[in-house]
């Protein structure tokens, strides 16, 4: 199927111009990014839409984990999942290169990369892929993964395709980082709430110690803190035990 075709598969199937289909996809994905959304489901939807919109047999996303190792997070089929896993193990291929370089890596003809990435090329040909195009998932200087398109026909990545795939990769990046921000914000709120609740307990414990020991509040706090340090316990735990009359200092 030549790259100069005037109409994509998605356009033929829907009767809509691809610009409208892309806009519809962006709106749908944006609507999905509300508090508590499932980022894995979002990325799965994204790769499925990418395969449809870009005339790809398969699409997938790889992400770097906390240790910097690349993992497959979404894939349209077991076939693309296998090749992505293979190239990760081999440490070679356009998907890895896109992540490492932070730039688009377009392979119009897989047979032309047999010298550069022999294991990858052999496996790609065996699985029926003829061209592969990888777009980095990045936010400014940070690259967190890559969006990968696998086609069964040889084809270049047109300028329109490159721009559109980068836009889809940007949506994926925003979705991942926003979900991370939600989790971090929730953690911050829980930590703040815990700190405030702990302080209430500590103030109550200070009152108990001040009363039972006949000391002022500052001395009461010093006694509680010293006990916690000497026994390797959390200040909040010691205070809670004092308030519950489980501990007497």
Spell out the alpha helix ranges (H) of the chain.
9-14, 18-32, 39-53, 78-90, 94-101, 118-126, 159-213, 217-230, 235-243
Q: What band does 81 get if pLDDT is binned at 50, 70 and 90?
A: confident
162 exposed, middle or buried (CB, 10 Å; 0-12, 13-18, 19+)?
middle
Name the average pLDDT for the chain: 83
The answer on 153 and 128 residing in a single domain is yes
Please report, rounded to a whole number, the percentage of residues in the chain having pLDDT higher than 90.
40
Q: What is the pLDDT of residues 148-166, one digit of tens each?
A: 999 999 999 888 888 888 8
The answer on 217 and 113 residing in a single domain is no
Q: What is the pLDDT of residues 211-242, one digit of tens each?
A: 999 999 989 998 998 999 899 988 889 999 99
Among 165, 184, 203, the domain-final residue is 184
The answer on 192 and 160 residing in a single domain is no
Q: What is the pLDDT of residues 37-51, one digit of tens each?
A: 677 777 888 888 889
Domain at 46, CATH number: 3.30.450.40
Domain at 204, CATH number: 1.10.10.10
The answer on 219 and 171 residing in a single domain is no
The answer on 209 and 165 residing in a single domain is no
Q: Which of 56-65, 82-91, 177-186 has the lowest mean pLDDT?
A: 177-186
Interatomic CA distance for residues 27 and 112, integer angstroms: 38
Q: Find the helix or strand (DSSP H, E) in which 74 lies.
A: strand 70-75
CB 56 within 8 A of CB 50: yes
């Amino acid at each position: 199927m030549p790259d100069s075709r005037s109409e994509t598969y998605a356009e033929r199937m829907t009767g809509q111009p691809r610009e409208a289909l892309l806009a519809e996809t962006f709106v749908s994905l944006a609507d999905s990014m509300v508090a508590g959304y499932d980022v894995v489901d979002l990325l799965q939807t994204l790769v499925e839409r990418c395969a449809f919109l870009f005339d790809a047999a398969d699409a997938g996303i790889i992400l770097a984990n906390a240790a910097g190792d690349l993992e497959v997070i979404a894939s349209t089929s077991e076939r693309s999942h296998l090749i992505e896993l293979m190239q990760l193990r081999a440490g070679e291929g356009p998907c890895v290169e896109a992540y490492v370089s932070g730039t688009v890596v377009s392979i119009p003809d897989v047979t032309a990369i047999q010298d550069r990435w022999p294991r990858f090329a052999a496996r790609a040909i065996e699985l029926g892929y003829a061209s592969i195009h990888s777009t980095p998932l990045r936010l400014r200087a940070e690259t967190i993964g890559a969006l990968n398109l696998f086609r069964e026909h040889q084809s270049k990545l047109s300028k329109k395709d490159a721009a559109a795939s980068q836009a889809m990769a940007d949506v994926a990046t925003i979705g991942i980082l926003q979900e991370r921000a939600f989790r971090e914000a929730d953690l911050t709120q829980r930590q703040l709430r815990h700190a405030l609740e702990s302080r209430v307990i500590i103030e109550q414990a200070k009152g108990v110690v001040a009363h039972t020991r006949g000391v002022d509040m500052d001395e009461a706090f010093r006694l509680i803190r010293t006990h916690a340090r000497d026994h390797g316990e959390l200040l909040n735990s010691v205070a809670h035990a004092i308030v519950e009359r489980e501990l007497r200092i």
